[in-house]
Amino acid sequence: MPRGELRIYLGAAPGVGKTYAMLEEAHRRAGRGTDVVIALVETHGRRHTAAMIGGLEVIPRREVTYRGAAFGEMDLEAVLARRPELAVVDELAHTNVPGSRNDKRWQDVHALLDAGIGVLTTVNVQHLESLNDVVARITGVEQRETVPDAVVRAAEQVELVDMTPEALRRRLAHGNVYRPEKVDAALGNWFRAGNLTALRELALLWLAGKVDEQLGRYRADHDIDTTWEARERVAVALTGGPEGETLIRRAARIAARSRGAELLAVHVTRSDGLAGADPAELARQRVLTESLGGTYHQVAGGDVAQALLDFARGVNATQIVLGASRRGRLAQLVAAGVGVTTIARSGSIDVHLVPHERAGRGRRGGPLPPALSRRRRIAGLLTALLGLPLLTAGLTIAPELPLIDDILLFLVAVVGVALIGGLWPALVAAVGGSLVLNWFFTPPVGRFTIAEGQNLLALAIFVTVAVAVSWVVDTAARRTRQAARASAEAQTLATVAGSVLRGERPLMALLDRLRETFALDAVTLLEGEVVVASVGRACTRGEADVEVTAGGGVSGGGELRLLLRGRILEASDRRIVEAFAAQAAVALRQERLAAEAASVRPLAEANRLRTALLAAVSHDLRTPLASATAAVASLRSSEVAFGEEDRAELLATAGESLDRLGGLVANLLDMSRLQAGALGVAVIEVGAEEVVPRALDDLGPEGRMVAVRVPDDLPLLRADPGLLERVLVNLVGNALRYSPPGRPPMITGSAHGDTVELRVIDRGPGIPSDRWDDVFLPFQRLGDRDNHTGAGLGLALSRGLTEAMGGTLTPEETPGGGLTMILALPAVSP
């Protein structure tokens, strides 16, 4: 029996229209003659969704009693007995009531699929297992009902039902998602614009990953190895040479020309495991790649060009960036280089061959190190010097043998010398053996002449074979030693990476690991002549046994040097030390940047407050001072005679203006104290139900019109009660000023993880979202004549006081029109 097909409608949040879209598809299938039943659909009281059920057969729910309450669950047995072609099952991540056949609804769906029944279902992105913790951090709500990602990825079709956050919030405000009494709470919690935007991005990215998987699977199933330019991917090939940084920057510029392009750096190592590239250079190039937004990869292959192309096709790269060959002209004439070979085999992939300073100058590096130790080379030479005379004496005393046998015996001797001492002792043995064979065993004996041509050929073959065997033995020994060294280097670097990642201070962890790896007494990092960091007693350049350059200084400092004291290192170990030095420079740079960022924050805050003070003196102080001055001047004037009522009104005006002036001066003093770090912020545990009423009382009769919806179980805040009260007075005062008649502002409270939010909501004209940042510019009004389009001193001071208490103050659009100010402060842990 063929398995049924699964189609999933994925949404970023409730209310985007997943169930509606699923029912539309069910009607379309039914119209084509498909046998469709509704196994379970949750309407949540939405009339448009409920209307879509009409015309489709509905399987009655199975009633399950649990702890004295009745629940309606999908009747799986009834659906299996009905055996439709297509079943509609809502809410894939639902947890069944205990006592059901399966624990999860997605398991019920699998049972239907196994029975050959197709299924239409829905799921929200917050219910995906892999995103559960991410969604919890964003929304502050942990989802207990989840579905494994593999279940959703296995679906034949996953369709995203998308909606902008603004449109979804309007739909919610109009009552199309939840009942009216739940709308305000939902808008202030799960359905905040930031939450919806983040959830929408998660849904799009998750689905894009599935689409990429489907594309890769399709290409693999159809043996497609050509590049499909669905997205620009630029691969840059690195050899570990100094030209690598030039190539990376060129590739990054190429990738930057296309939106969404990816940068991938790849280094091809030899498949035999031998060391090749400089690990320090590769480490620096990897850091550069990642700083430019790219990724670093390493692959192995005997044919570098083919390995590079295999990688490029595997990642669906559209372009490859290569450096011009460093080989000389003669070497390029003998064999085609990697660049030429890559171009010839690239097919539809564009290949950029980038010139650089070292192109055509030959590869760096001195003579190859000896394959064997000095002791073994000496032993091989002594074996040749002693063994050849002994073999000659033995053959002279023994019965006469044919020349070919003598040659074979001397060849065995040469091979033995090669096994003991390597190439050069074996060459000495080969040359010496040929001379001995010519003098003692080749007619005419006792002369360096050869009478017969076949004897000359035999001696020539002897020398050739002896040299070839010596070369092979020496090469094998050298490669064995290189492989062992490469393995040790890789193990050391892997250990270093792990220790650095686990450490809170990467630089000190790196230096400590270096000292431990090479059993040193001290490791010191110098910048110029200044000690930056040290493990063990800091040493100077004169005291160091080894000195390695780590690159240019950080932030314009002197050159970085790594000084090692304790023992002299072998030349082969310097490669590892250079890799340590490169990573040390990176770690130092990161620590410096983090420290600079931390030091700039107070300066930026002080500058912001200083600007606020200057603006206050020139703007907000002028208005109440002018009003009070005008009122007093009128009262003192002898030209006009005022009655008692007029005098009382003028006195009230002067009093109100002076009160306002006093409040402004108090605010300015607080801001100046805040700037100087002298503001008395006494953060304690306080309840919102204590502070909100006091703030409303300060507003007088207008404060009594404000609706308050603060839950009794709202956690305590960590705040200064006096400062919090002043912030609320400013926020509610602005809301009252801009609220239309009959629609007073409202204060709501809600908890989100370790944060408590107090929202001041008004239904006034609101502020355009592109001007929200201007709201908090100190004493900046968005309209000099129409104050209903902006705010002044109050919001600037409110944000400063809020941040001084460790909170945040942000604006948000009120669904249906208006502005909501969100005051978020730390909550007290239970």
Q: pLDDT for 656-708, tens place per residue? A: 778 777 766 776 666 566 556 666 678 899 999 899 999 898 888 888 889 99
Q: What per-residue confidence (pLDDT) applies to 330? A: 60
Q: What per-residue confidence (pLDDT) applies to 670? A: 64
Q: What per-residue confidence (pLDDT) applies to 664? A: 67
Share of residues in the chain with pLDDT > 70 (%): 81
pLDDT at 400 over 90: no
Q: What per-residue confidence (pLDDT) applies to 6? A: 95
Q: What per-residue confidence (pLDDT) applies to 823? A: 94
Per-residue pLDDT reduced to its tens digit, 580-607: 777 787 778 777 777 777 777 666 656 6
Per-residue pLDDT reduced to its tens digit, 324-377: 877 666 655 656 778 888 888 888 888 998 887 766 555 544 455 555 677 888
> What angle is formed at CA 202 by the lines to CA 228 and CA 810, rounded to 5 degrees?
135
Tell me which residue of 435, 430, 433, 432 sits closest to 466, measured CA to CA.
430
Phi-psi region of 519 (alpha: psi -120 to 50; beta: other; left: phi over 0): left
Residue 495: pLDDT band with limits 50, 70, 90? low
Query: Higher-confidence residue: 571 or 413?
Result: 413
Q: Exposed, middle or buried by CB within 10 Å (0-12, 13-18, 19+), for 386?
A: exposed
Could you give the CA distance from residue 453 to residue 405 in angstroms, rounded to a whole number? 17
Question: Strands, DSSP E only, in 125-232?
Answer: 157-161
pLDDT at 508 over 60: yes
pLDDT (mean) for 196-209? 88
Q: What per-residue confidence (pLDDT) applies to 334? A: 59
Which range has the worst mean pLDDT, 172-181, 189-198, 301-310?
A: 172-181
Residue 553: pLDDT band with limits 50, 70, 90? very low
Q: What per-residue confidence (pLDDT) applies to 611? A: 53
pLDDT at 817 over 90: no
pLDDT (mean) for 204-223? 77
Q: What per-residue confidence (pLDDT) applies to 298? A: 84
pLDDT (mean) for 639-645? 79
Q: What per-residue confidence (pLDDT) applies to 65? A: 81
pTM, rounded to two decimals: 0.44
Q: List Cα–Cα distances, 121 to 155, 401, 543, 822, in angstroms.
A: 10, 92, 73, 37
pLDDT (mean) for 487-503? 58
pLDDT at 18 over 70: yes
Residue 764: pLDDT band with limits 50, 70, 90? confident
Please give the structure tokens belonging to residue 521: 């007494």
Percentages helix, strand, coil for the chain (3-state, rounded to 5) are 50, 15, 30
Residue 496: pLDDT band with limits 50, 70, 90? low
Asked whether 351 and 254 are in contact (CB, 8 A), the reply is no
Residue 807: pLDDT band with limits 50, 70, 90? very high
Could you give the CA distance from residue 165 to residue 186 in angstroms, rounded to a whole number? 13
Share of residues in the chain with pLDDT > 90 (%): 23
Q: What per-residue confidence (pLDDT) applies to 733? A: 87
Q: Under DSSP, is residue 88 helix (H, G, I), strand (E, B) or coil?
A: strand
